[in-house]
Structure 1
Amino acid sequence: MITVEHLSHHFVMGKKGEKTKLPVLHDLSFSVNKGEIVSIIGRSGSGKSTLLNLISGFIHPTSGEITINGTDVTRFSETEFADFRLNQIGFIFQNFQLIPSMTAYQNIELPLILKGVTENERKKITEQTLERVGLSHYPNHYPGELSGGQQQRVSIARALVLNPPIILADEPTGSLDSETEASLLEFIQQLNQDLNITFLIITHDQEVARIGSRTLEIQDGHLIKGGNSR
């Protein structure tokens, strides 16, 4: 499903003529099988968020290869990766990334609009997705009118609405209290069981990491725990 081979990355810092390289990731290799929940854990600054951005195509690696669902995406253009993400990857963010001027329904519907789904089909899918995440009574509520847990469920619904085989989650419970966190993690596990969605979860929290079938640990840009599973 996801294969990372000899992946390294550095950022270039400074002005022209005074540039320096800042190494972030060093020769990472691992794979994630279909239907797995894999947790990637590490301290702040370890490189785990950079890894997520590389896998999702928001930045290009310095070296190495990334294959997703049988497709080598390493050298995709921005346009190619944008199209690929729309069809293959859903995202869950720590701060929800909802559009505050849009209702829960509209936030969830947006990916369907971007994909060109007809209005009648959008309505059907959006309502079904709202029901799946337990928010069928809140379609017209704006993000500011919802609790943190409800906002994250809207975010999950938006990630689910195009039925992607993979969901990438970046600190998905980082803005939630412990009780809401436990409920959300249980919900992620249920989605994984019901829909066989592959989850790759970035976290610094051992409690969150425990829901994974495997844990990869990154320290100072090196993979020190975990590895290939084929």
Structure 2
Amino acid sequence: MITVKQLEHEFRIGKKGKETIVPVLRDVNLTVNAGEIVAVVGRSGSGKSTLLNLISGYIAPVQGKIMINGTDVTGMSEGEWADFRLENIGFIFQSFQLIPTMTAFENVQLPLVFKGVKEVDRKIQTETMLKKVGLWEFKDHYPGELSGGQQQRVSIARALIVHPPLILADEPTGSLDSENERALLSFIQQLNREENITFLIITHDEEVANIAHRKITISDGRLVEGSDTDEI
């Protein structure tokens, strides 16, 4: 599903000609197989989110190769990446990233709008997805009228609406209380088990990492493979 080879990235700080180069990732090699839940853990500032941004195409690597679902995405343009993400990747964010002026229904159906799906089909698919996450009765509520757990479920419904084979999650439980965290983790396991969706999860939360088939630690810009019984 995901193959990363010799990936490197750095940030340049300061004015051009007087820049300070800050290495972030060095010689990163990673394979995530279809149907796996893989958690990447590490200290704050270790490069976890940078790795996710590289894999999702929001920043370009200095060096290396990224393949997703059999496609080399390394040199894609912004437009090509946008089309590829719409077909292949769903996202779950810590901050939910919902549009506050749109209802839950409108937020969830948005990817279908971008895909050009007919309105009648959008309505059917969005209703089905909101019922799946237990939020159909809240379809007309705006994000500000929903609890944190409900907002995250809307976010998940939006991520799932195009049936992506891969979901990238960045600290998905960071804004949730313990009860909603347990519910979200159970739902992720259910989706993985029943629909074979692959998850790559960036987290510092041990409870989140413990649902993964594999835990990988990032330290000083390098990945260290761990077993499913390793401590974070």
User: With structure 2 as the length reference, what TM-score do the two structures score?
Assistant: 0.96
Partner of 2:85 in structure 1?
85
**TM alignment of 1:148-159, pairs within 5 A:** 148-159=148-159
Which residue of structure 2 lines up, in the alignment, with residue 125 of structure 1? 125
Q: Once superposed, what is the RMSD of the aligned Cα atoms?
A: 1.0
- In the TM superposition, structure 1's runs of 4+ consecutive aligned residues that sit over 3 Å from their partners are none
Equivalent AA in structure 2 for residue 141 of structure 1: H
Alignment of 1:112-191 (within 5 A): 112-191=112-191
Q: What is the Cα deviation at residue 194 of structure 1?
A: 1.4
Distance 2:185 2:112 in 1: 26
Shift of 1:150: 0.4
Counterpart code for 2:52: L
Alpha-carbon deviation of 1:3?
0.3
1:73 is aligned to 73
Answer yes or no: is 1:30 the counterpart of 2:42: no
Could you tell which deviates more after superposition, 12-21 or 199-208?
Answer: 12-21
Give, in whole Å, the separation in 1 of the partners of 2:192 and 2:103: 26
State the partner residue of 1:197. Answer: 197
Is contact 1:88-1:165 (8 Å) kept? yes
CA drift at 1:226: 3.9
Identical amino acids, percent of aligned pairs: 67
For 2:100 and 2:157, the matched residues in 1 are separated by 16
Which secondary structure does the structure 2 equivalent of 1:137 belong to? helix
1:80-133: CA deviation from partner (whole Å, max 9, x where unpaired): 111100100000000100001100000001000001000000001000000111
Q: How far, CA to CA, are the matches of 1:190 and 1:218 in structure 2?
A: 27
Q: Tell me if structure 2 keeps the 8 A contact 1:104–1:139.
A: yes
Once residues 77 and 144 of structure 1 are traced to their aligned partners in structure 2, the CA distance between those partners, rounded to angstroms, is 35
CA distance in 1, matches of 2:169, 2:16: 35
Give the distance between the partners of 1:98 and 1:75, measured in 2 at CA.
29
The number of residues matched between the two structures is 227
Q: How many angstroms does 1:224 deviate by?
A: 2.2
Q: Is the 8 A contact 1:45 1:220 kept in 2?
A: no
In the superposition, the TM-score normalised over structure 1's length comes to 0.97
In structure 2, distance between residues paired with 1:36 and 1:207: 17
- C-alpha offsets along residues 13-40 of structure 1, whole Å, 9 cap, x if unaligned? 1102211211000101110111111001
CA contact (8 A) 1:7 1:61 kept: yes
SS across alignment from 2:91: strand
Please state how far the C-alpha of 1:222 moved relative to its aligned partner: 1.1
In the alignment, the residues of structure 2 paired with residue 118 and residue 203 of structure 1 have an alpha-carbon distance, to the nearest angstrom, of: 37
Amino acid at match of 1:117: V
Query: What is the CA deviation profile of residues 119-175 of structure 1, one whole-angstrom value per residue up to 9, with x for unaligned ones?
Result: 000001000000111111110011111110000000000000000000000000000
Q: 1:3 maps to what in 2?
A: 3
What one-letter code is carried by the residue in structure 2 that aligns with 1:3? Answer: T
Find the aligned partners of 2:58 and 2:194 in 1 and give their Cα distance.
29
Q: Which residue in 2 is equivalent to 1:18?
A: 18
Structure 1 residue runs without a partner (length 5+)? none
Matched residue type, 1:137: E
**1:23-62 Cα distance to aligned partner (Å, 9 max, x none):** 0001011101111110010111000000000000000001
User: Which runs of no fewer than 5 residues in structure 2 stay unpaired?
Assistant: 228-232
Q: Deviations 1:69-90 (Å, cap 9, x if unpaired)?
A: 0111011111111110010000
**Matches of 2:45 and 2:16, distance apart in 1:** 25
**Deviation digits for residues 187-219 of structure 1 (CA, Å, limit 9, x no counterpart):** 111111111100000001111101100011101
- SS state at 1:17 partner: coil
- Name the CA distance, whole Å, in 1 between partners of 2:67 and 2:16: 33
